[in-house]
Amino acid sequence: MKGNGTWRIWLIGVMALLQAACAGLHPLREGADQAVYVVARPDAAGLAARHAPVFVVGGQNQPANRIGTPAARLDEAGRSQIFVDPATPTVYFQEQSFSTAQGTYTNLIYRVHFPEVPFSLVPLQLTAGKNVGLLVVITLNDRQEPVLVTTLHTCGCYLAIIPTSFLPAAAYPADWRADGQRIYGVTLPGRLVFDAGVAPRLNVEIAVRDGDHRVADVRPLGADATPTGSPARDLILRPMADLTELPLDGGASTSFFEEQGSRRGYVKGSQKPIERLLMGWWALDLHVGEDKALGPTEETGVVLYTSLKPWARCQSDLWHFADFLRYWGWKL
C-alpha cells in the first residue's frame, strides 16, 4: 500500500507540473517586436512558392525567437557543431503525394527552425532545448486547392489539423467542431474559409508565439490579402535535402541530423531534458520531445509519431500521411 501511495503522489506531482506548463501559456502579443516572414518571390512558378505559408513571429528582440538557418562550424578540436543562425531566415520544403479511396493528394511540407526555446522554471518551459523547429503541411486536392493545414513541432508534438472550405464535410472526423479546437491550452480554428475564385495562389498566415514557438493562430490569406504586422523579412526557400549537407570550412559538409547511434535521425543538439524527465518514462521513449527528420523510417532512422501512445507510433507517423489521417479520424 505504501508503494502505491508513493506512485500516486509522484503521478499527481507530474500532472501538476504539466498543468503549470500550460497555465503559463500566453496569446501572441501584437506589437513592434513582431516580424512577418514571407517567401521571397511568392508569385514565382511552382507550388512551393505559391502556397508557402506566411509566418508572423513575436519576440523579435530576442534572437531565440527568430526563424534562422541551420548551420555548422568546427570547434577548436575540429569537431562539427550544429546551430541555427538567426541572422538569415530559411524555410525548407519538400513535396509528397499520397492516395486514398477518395482521390490523390499533394502535401507541400514546410519546415523552419529557431535557435532555441529558452529554459524557464516559472512558468515551466517543458520544451526547452536548442535547434527546435516547426512543420507546416499544406494538403492540396487534385485541383490544387488546399483542403487541410497541419501544424506541429518537429518533435511531433502540439499537432493541429485544420480543414478548409475546400474539404467536404463528409471527410471530417465524427463530432468535429468547426468553431475551434483546443491544443494544449491554445485555441486554433476548426475550419479555414477561403474566398472563392482566388486560386492559384492560396496561402495561410501562421502566428507563432515568442518563447515556446507555439502556433497561436492560423488564418487564410487570399491572393489580394496582406499579412498582419510589420516589418517583413524575406524567407529563403530551400529544398529539404539541404538539411543533410550543411557546409563546413574546407569544403566538407555535415548533416543537421545524427547519422548513427541511438539518436540517428534526431536533430543534433536537440536534447529535451525536462520532457525526458517528466514524460519519457510513461511515453516509453527516452528521446521524447527531441526534434527529428521527416521521411521513411528506413532512411531517417526515426518515426515522427504524433501520438504519445506507444502502441500508436506507426499509425500516427506523419510521413505515412494517409494512415496518419485515418488514425486521427479524417476520411480523405
Average pLDDT over all residues of the chain: 88
Calculate the CA dihedral of residues 211, 217, 219, 224 and round it to 10 degrees: -30
pTM: 0.90
How far apart CA 192 and CA 197 sit, in angstroms, is 15
How far apart CA 114 and CA 325 sit, in angstroms, is 27
**Minimum mean pLDDT among 143-147, 240-244, 317-321: which range?**
143-147
C-alpha cell at 224: 489580394
pLDDT in tens, 50-63: 899 999 999 999 99
Q: Output DSSP code: residue 326.
A: H
pLDDT in tens, 96-147: 999 998 899 999 999 999 999 998 887 888 899 999 999 999 999 999 999 9
- Look at residue 77 in the predicted model and tell me its pLDDT: 80
How far apart CA 27 and CA 116 sit, in angstroms, is 19
Q: Is the pLDDT of residue 293 over 60?
A: yes
Judge contact between 247 and 231, C-beta under 8 A: no
Mean pLDDT of 291-317: 97
How far apart CA 258 and CA 121 sit, in angstroms, is 29
* 206 membership: H or E segment, kind and range: strand 203-208
pLDDT interval class at 8 (50, 70, 90) = very low
- Look at residue 12 in the predicted model and tell me its pLDDT: 36
